[in-house]
Amino acid sequence: MAEQIIFYILAAIIAVFSILAVTSKRIIRSATYLLFVLLATAGLYLLLGYNYLFAVQVAVYAGGVMVLFIFAILLTNRPGADVKSELAVRRVVAGITALAGVAFCAHIIYYNVNKVMVTVAQSELTPQQIGHTMLGTDKYQYLMPFEAISILLLACIIGAIMIARKR
Amino acid sequence: MQYTLLILVLPLLSFIVLGLVDSKWSPKVAGTIGTLVLGIITALSYLTAWEYFSMHQVAGVYEKVIPYNIEWLRFTEFLHINLGILLDPISVMMLVVITTVSFMVNIYSLGYMVNEKGFERYYAFLSLFTFSMLGLVVATNIFQMYIFWELVGVSSYLLIGFYYTKPSAVAAAKKAFIVTRFADLGFLIGILVLSFYSKTFDFGILTSGNPSVFASTVGVSFMGVSVMSWALGLIFIGGAGKSAMFPLQIWLPDAMEGPTPVSALIHAATMVVAGVYLVARLFPLYIVYAPDVLHGIAYVGAFTSLFAAVIAVVQTDIKRVLAFSTISQIGFMMVGLGVSGNGGHEGLGYMASMFHLFTHAMFKALLFLGAGSVIHAVHSNEMNHMGGLRKYMPITNWTFLIACLAIAGIPPFSGFFSKDEILSACYEFSPYMGVTMTIIAGLTAFYMFRLYFNIFWGKEHKHEHTPHESGFAMALPLVFLATVTVFAGFIPFGHFVTSDRANYNIELDTVVASISVLVAACSIALATILYRKESAVPKKLATTFSGLHSAASHRFYIDEVYLFITKKIIFNNISKPLAWFDRHVIDASMNGMAGTTQWFSLKIKSFQSGQVQQYAYVFLLGTLAIALMVIFI
Amino acid sequence: MELITNFLSGSVQIEAYLGLSLIMFFAGIYGFLSRKSLLMILISIELMLNAADINFVVFNRYLYPGHLEGFYFTLFTIAIAACETAVAIAIIINIYRNLNSVEVGNLDEMKE
Amino acid sequence: MNFLSLFVLIPALMMMGLFLSNSRKQLLFFMTAGASLLMIFSTVLTYMYFTERAAGNAATMLFTADTVWYSAFNIHYSVGVDGISVAMLILTSIIVFTGVFASWKIDPLPKEFFLWFCLLSSGVYGFFISTDLFTMFMYYEIALIPMYLLIGIWGTGKKEYAAMKLTLMLMGGSALLLVGILGIYYASGATTMNILEIAKLHIPIEMQYYFFPLTFTGFGVLGAMFPFHTWSPDGHASAPTAVSMLHAGVLMKLGGYGCFRVAMYLMPQAAHELAWIFLILTGISVVYGAFSAIHQTDLKYINAYSSVSHCGLVLFAILMMNETSATGAILQMLSHGLTTALFFALIGMIYGRTHTRLITEMGGLMKVLPFLGVCFVIAGLGSLGLPSLSGFVAEMTIFVGSFQHTDLFHRVLTVLACSSIVITAVYILRMVGKFLLGKIQDPHHEHLTDATWFERISVVTLIFFMFALGSAPFWITNMIHESVLPVIGQLVK
């Protein structure tokens, strides 16, 4: 009962703020709305019992990424400059496309997903379990992707520095 | 008779040597070499003639001797070009004619051309010409003849265009080459047709009289004309081109742009009679398989002869007069062949034609060399610039007179005998032909003496410096040729050259002879009255018949017709549009293809706009479409 | 009231999660298509990524509770998203330096 | 190590040598000239060995070698020569040699020029020695690509346009060709791409109907067949001297050779059925090219159109499908190669002096450039088919061969083709008369200097071979004649 209520609250937050985030005229507000969406998503993870994911989401997304966004916004937006609003046509067309997509996917979900009512034991995912899985090379263990990601991260760091540095 | 090969090889070597050393040797050396070589081969030719006519008669018939015959290029199982030497009466006779005239011209040129630039080149070309012409007459097969036929054409081109900085000479050379080349196309196709059916090029087989050679032509015809008539008619076109028969005569008067000795050698004595020689060579075929074509040749010859004689009457350039006279005389030879039958008395025309070829070569070369001597003295070709030269140039005067009498047909000069035989043959063919040819003979006498009197008599023209007789090198050939002209008529020609290669005794047809002599004498008398002293009569006549006169002096506008065809029709209405078509239709369509591709790529380029959101739309719609397809179909 | 309690009884249905991520995803799409600012486009991309993350996690939890594929996929996606954002923002700042604008319409120089 | 591979290897090694050498022009020149001389020696050796061993049996391929190259598609590196290839090799080595001598003054980037030139010649040699369809095609492409750079960089006039046009049109042709070749391979069901092997198999007639026109047109484009000839005037006009020589002299022969060796040999039935279409096209080429040449004023254009006419005659003769005309076709390839190379060499040399190629702007050059002038006249006479020069032998063989057909269609076409000799005379003499003879028009031309020694070498070599072919054709005609027999045998069957 409580889970349901929490879910719907989070759902409401996500739905409202994600729409606000893409429609808001001020970009800094959009970023703020995005932050709310990200936090609410983290809440969903918690609700689903993935505490570790919650932590990562909050730390990386809501923490790191958002800071980057804010910086970028502050760097690229001259204060006081008027925000040009997009053409109505553009918005309408995009909206129609998006709604068509929603309708289509909703249709699929409604007709094709079994109405599963799985009650899952809210078993805790221990850090040990995560650690073992992440650093093993057996089946269903993810050392290789993990390493790949780490190389990617390194590449990104170098790339970002190279791109952004002043010549 | 192995040494006959030398007759061909020596001039070729002389050409190569003189051509390669170019101007490294002094002109004297070059001239001497050229003349020496000619002297040697002239001697060899006389030797050949003597040996042939004295030793190769079997049962009263001269046999064919083939000292060399080497396969040069093989086409098919049967068809192959051979290069070789064929000696029979006409080829031996031609050998003598060519080497004699050529030798004379070589000597003459030593004096005439001595101050010209490119003396070595001149002698090289003369050697090339002599080589080619000799190769032509001794050809063992029709394709060898064609080969040398072309070489002769080229040497003629080179020699006409000898003064290559003179535009008129260049144009004349070009014209000569292209007109004869056009005719050669007929020759070539004729050869192709003939050889296809007979499976051989060889004269020996072609003229053997063996009907099996042409068995496959029986009943084959194209457009209602039998295939042999086609072949022989086409071959005659080639001959007509070289021999300047109507309507292909236009190149010959212009060819007088070349040096005068060249005109004497090529455009009077030797090359231009190649057509006659060709017909004579294939005479056995014409008479058997295409008598209709042979009659056509007679009519063409007669018409050309008349036509050229009329024009010659009004020309004022002395070399042009001689050129038209040459055309006219070759017409005579063609008529002689055309009206001839085969064998014995029937073959009188053939014999007469060859005889005329022989004598004409001598006296026409003499005329040209004489004219050259005159031109050398007064530096002009125009009759108006001459007159009264007999005092200054006695040798030229007398030799020219002898030649004029010969060509007019006055006995006992050589022209009388040969022309008279032709006339007899014509009367035997048909009285009309005989009468026509007699009239032409009269015309000939008239215009020749008009020429003679205008040059050597009449009012003296003021000269910058007194004309004088030319040197020894130029006088010697004149005297020699005059001697030959005087006595050649007494050669028993029928014992040497006849259509069936058997002996034939020439009998003078006294009726015909007296008529022709009478006509000639009258014409000479008329010319004497009109031109010996200056008189107003010719001018009056010219104004009376002004239409005819101007038409004749414009050579009946044949050149203009040709010019119209080549310039207006071929150049402007075929070639120009074709060139335009190529650039603007064919090429444009290729460019158009490229253009269309480019246009199309420009159009589809906007798909690649660089606008991420546009891509996103396309991507999304694509995904949606695929998903819809997967789910609902 | 009873209707509401009935509705709220038991655990959350999978469709609800899917519907939620659907809204989020298409909100992202709308933003991606309609906004001109590169930063806004980036924000939209983040929204879409998040929606996808939620789906992974939900499918993992509801359909294969014993496995961890969805979990890890999400985890890595978050990491990649962070990288991507970092690089993207570096590029955006660079573009801003050069063109003095971050509007996507100006960015078709490479096409020529 | 197969002897023939030398023909590809020497230019390749030469390229490497050039690459490593410094860029002193004389060194480069002598290196390339040395290599081309080496090629001539190899050719002479091949010829001698061939005539000796062939001894009445020139039909079989000699020096054959076969190495698997890419087994998945049965592509072999297989080489071999018969009389036709030997003839072509002789032509190629002569023209490469003279082409090098004609490019003494090449500027700028001499090193690069000779490098590409070597690559080009390597491709051409490779084409003539290979007996594998795919290898052949590959060499064909190798020969095409350097052309683009050679014209585009060292050309004159609208060189970019010309280079682009030439390359694109020839590439278009080779696209058709590729389809044709693959079609032949798959339709024949062969397990090898070797031409000799495929010839033993039978390709279904319906397939031949598709692939014969493709292959023939593909090669025909290179042979300047109407209406795909327009690359020739523009391309030749813009190309540097040596490239014009090599292109008109040898590369255009790839077309005729390919038509004969691939299209006709492998698909005889379709050749019989469809020959009339191509006969009409090539007949048009012959006359049309000649007529177009009359109106041109640029020397190179005149010669390019004349090439259209003469190369048209090659394809025309091939399509006449009998041994005589086919021999004539090969002879015409040789003859046209020599003549046109000589023409382009001379035009290049004259252009290098007068800086114009328009005959309307020149005149009387014979007086100041006697050597070049005389050679030009010789080239002209060769082109219009003067006996004792190569053109005559070739053309007469073709005409006699073509006339062996008894039906009206072939005969009319033959007569039409014969008429081209007159038109050729017209434009050659017009050209010679306008710019060599007459009076000097431009006072600047009065102090021109005649040919230098390396130019003389180039020109004299070509003239020598023109005479050798025209005066004593028997040293090569028998060899060619025996070698066309297998193909003709296939066609007659």
pLDDT mean across residues, chain D: 85
The per-residue pLDDT for C21 is: 92
Give me the residue from B610, B617, B620 closest to C110, CB to CB: B610
Q: Is C104 in CB contact (< 8 Å) with chain A?
A: no
How close does chain D come to B297, measured CA to CA in Å? Answer: 23
* Neighboring chain A residues of C28 at a CB cutoff of 8 Å: 18, 22
Average pLDDT, chain B: 83
pLDDT value of residue C48: 92
Report how many domains make up chain D: 1
Confidence of residue B378 (pLDDT cuts 50, 70, 90): confident
What is the structure's pLDDT at A42? 92
Chain A nearest CA to B609, separation (Å): 17
- The pLDDT value given to residue D162: 86
Residue D402 belongs to domain spanning: 3-491
Contact D235, D157 (CB under 8 A): no
Q: What is the pLDDT of residues D18-60, one digit of tens each?
A: 888 776 777 888 888 888 888 888 888 888 888 777 565 656 7
A6 or B468: which leads in pLDDT: A6
Contact B209, B284 (CB under 8 A): yes
Scanning every residue of chain A, which has its alpha carbon at the shortest distance from the alpha carbon of B628? A104
Average pLDDT estimate for D229-247: 86
Residue A123 pLDDT greater than 90, yes or no? no
Rounded distance, CA B206 to CA B64, Å?
A: 13
Instruction: Identify which of B605, B608, B616 has the shortest CB distance to residue C32.
Output: B616
C-proximal residues of A, 61-80, CB under 8 Å: 61, 64-65, 68-69, 71-73, 75-76
CA distances from D367 to B117, B158, D373 (A): 11, 15, 8
Structure tokens at B390: 């007999």
Q: Tens digits of per-residue pLDDT, D114-169? A: 888 888 888 898 898 888 888 888 898 888 888 888 888 888 888 888 888 888 88
Q: Which residue from C minimizes the CA distance to B612?
A: C104
CB contact set of D268 (below 8 Å; sequence gap of 6+): D490, D491, D493
Among the partner residues A22, A102, A161, nearest to C22 by beta-carbon distance: A102
- CB–CB contacts below 8 A, A to C: 224
- The CA distance from A61 to the nearest CA of chain C, in Å, is 7
Say if A37 is an interface residue toward chain C (CB within 8 Å): yes
Query: What length is written for chain B?
Result: 633
pLDDT at D267: 86
Chain C residue nearest residue B607, CA to CA? C111
Q: Kindly indicate the confidence band of residue C112, based on its pLDDT and cuts at 50, 70 and 90.
A: very low
The chains found to touch B (3+ Cβ pairs under 8 angstroms) are A, C, D
Per the DSSP assignment, residues forming a β-bridge with B390 are none
DSSP lists the bridge partners of residue D132 as D194
Whether residue C39 lies within 8 A of chain A, CB to CB, comes out as yes
For chain A, the structural domain boundaries read 1-85, 88-121, 125-167
Q: Which of B15-24, B276-285, B312-321, B423-432 has the lowest mean pLDDT?
A: B15-24
Does C108 contact B616 at a Cβ distance shorter than 8 Å?
no
Percent residues over pLDDT 70 in chain B: 97
Q: Does A150 touch chain B (CB under 8 A)?
A: no
Which of the four pLDDT bands, split at 50, 70 and 90, describes residue D75?
A: confident
Q: What is the structure's pLDDT at A15?
A: 92
pLDDT confidence of D69, banded at 50, 70, 90?
confident
Domain ranges of chain C: 2-111
**Model confidence band, residue D361 (pLDDT cutoffs 50, 70, 90):** confident
- Rounded CA separation B44/D21 (Å): 63
Q: How many CA atoms lie within 13 A of D114 on its CB side?
A: 36
Which pLDDT value is given to residue B482?
Answer: 87
Give the separation between CA C17 and CA D55, rounded to whole angstroms: 91
Q: CATH for A1-85, among 3.30.450.20, 3.40.50.1220, 1.20.120.1200, 1.20.1250.20?
A: 1.20.120.1200
Touching chains D and B? (3+ Cβ pairs < 8 A): yes
Q: Is the pLDDT of residue A110 over 70?
A: yes
- Helix ranges (DSSP H) in D64-158: 83-102, 110-129, 133-154
| pLDDT reported for residue A13 | 92
Checking if the pLDDT of C51 tops 90, the result is yes
If you average pLDDT over each of B144-153, B311-320, B390-399, D204-213, which comes out highest?
Answer: B144-153
Q: What percent of chain A has pLDDT over 70?
A: 87
Does A101 touch chain B if contact means CB atoms closer than 8 Å?
yes
Q: What is the Cα–Cα distance from B375 to B111, expressed in whole angstroms?
A: 13
Pick among B615, B624, B626, B628 to test the A interface (most A CBs inside 10 A) = B624
Query: Quick one: what percent of chain D has pLDDT higher than 90?
Result: 3
For B184-202, how does the pLDDT look when each residue is reduced to its tens digit (9 = 90+)?
Answer: 899 999 988 888 888 888 8
pTM: predicted TM-score of the whole model, two decimal places: 0.81
On the question of pLDDT at B86 being above 80, the answer is yes
**Partner-chain contact B627 A104, CB within 8 Å:** yes
pLDDT (0 to 100) of residue D209 = 87
CA distance D492 to A26: 86
Q: B475-484, D104-113, D204-213, D334-343: lowest mean pLDDT where? A: D104-113
Predicted confidence (pLDDT) per residue in B279-337, tens digit: 888 888 888 888 888 888 888 888 888 888 888 888 888 888 888 888 888 888 888 88
Query: Is the CB of C107 less than 8 angstroms away from the CB of B612?
Result: yes
> Which residue, among D286, D381, D400, would best test binding to B if mutated, counting the most B CBs under 10 Å from its CB?
D400
Separation in Å, CA A167 to CA A155, B479, C90, D27: 20, 104, 14, 46
pLDDT above 60 (res D372): yes
Whole-number pLDDT of residue B462: 67
Query: Residue B512: which of B404, B437, B413 has the closest Cα?
Result: B437
CATH 3.90.870.10 fits C2-111, yes or no: no
Task: Tell me if D324 sits within 8 A of B76, measured CB to CB.
Answer: yes
Which residue, among C22, C33, C34, C102, would best test binding to B if mutated, counting the most B CBs under 10 Å from its CB? C33
Residues D245-301 have pLDDT tens digits of 888 888 888 888 988 888 888 888 888 888 888 889 898 888 888 888 888 888 888
How many other C-beta atoms can be found within 10 angstroms of the C-beta atom of residue D442? 14
Give CA torsion, residues D24, D29, D30, D36, to 10 deg: 150
Q: With beta carbons under 8 A apart, name residues in chain C contacting A34.
A: 43, 46-47
b/e burial code for range B231-254 (CB count within 10 A of at least 16 → b): bbbbbbbbbbbbbbbbebbbbbbb
Distance of CA D109 to the CA centre of its chain: 26
Which chains have at least 3 CB atom pairs separated by less than 8 Å from chain A? B, C
- Residues in B closer than 8 angstroms to A108, CB to CB, are 631
- Greatest Cα-to-Cα distance within chain C, rounded to the nearest angstrom: 66
Distance from CA of C111 to the nearest CA of B (A): 6
The residues facing D231 across adjacent strands are none
The reply to whether residue D438 touches residue B170, judged by beta carbons under 8 angstroms, is yes
d(CA D385, CA B185): 12
Please indicate whether, in this complex, the C-beta atoms of D439 and B575 are within 8 angstroms of each other: no
What is the full DSSP assignment across D439-481? ----GGGGG-----HHHHHHHHHHHHHHHHHHH-THHHHHHHH
pLDDT at C25 (0 to 100):
93
Q: How far apart are CA B30 and CA B124, in angstroms?
A: 8
* CA of residue B123 relative to chain centroid, distance: 20
* Contact: chain A with chain D (3+ CB pairs below 8 Å): no
- Tell whether the model's pLDDT for residue B575 goes beyond 90: no
- Do the two chains B and C touch, given a threshold of 8 Å on CB pairs and at least 3 pairs? yes
Q: Are B382 and B271 in contact (CB under 8 A)?
A: no
Category of A77 on φ-ψ map: left (φ > 0), alpha (ψ -120 to 50) or beta: beta
> With an 8 Å Cβ cutoff, are A21 and C10 in contact?
no
CA distance B512 to B489: 17
Residue C89 pLDDT: 87
Mark yes or no for CB contact A3/C12 under 8 Å: yes
Taking CA–CA distances from D169, the nearest residue in chain B reads B590
Residue of B11 and C1 predicted with greater confidence: B11
Nearest-CA distance D27 → chain B (Å): 32
The full DSSP string for B602-613 is HHHHTTS-S-HH
- Phi/psi region, residue B244 (left: phi>0; alpha: psi -120 to 50; beta: rest), is left
Contact A101 B620 (CB under 8 A): yes
Give residue-wise pLDDT tens across range B438-474: 888 888 888 888 888 888 777 776 666 677 777 777 8
The closest alpha carbon to D479, from D183, D62, D74, belongs to D62
pLDDT greater at residue D3 or residue D282: D282
Instruction: Tell me which residue in A99, A140, A149 faces C76 most closely, judged by beta carbons.
Output: A149
Instruction: Tell me how crowded residue A123 is: count the other CB atoms within 10 A of its CB.
Output: 10
Per-residue pLDDT tens digits for B220-270: 777 777 888 888 889 998 888 888 888 888 888 888 888 888 888 888 888
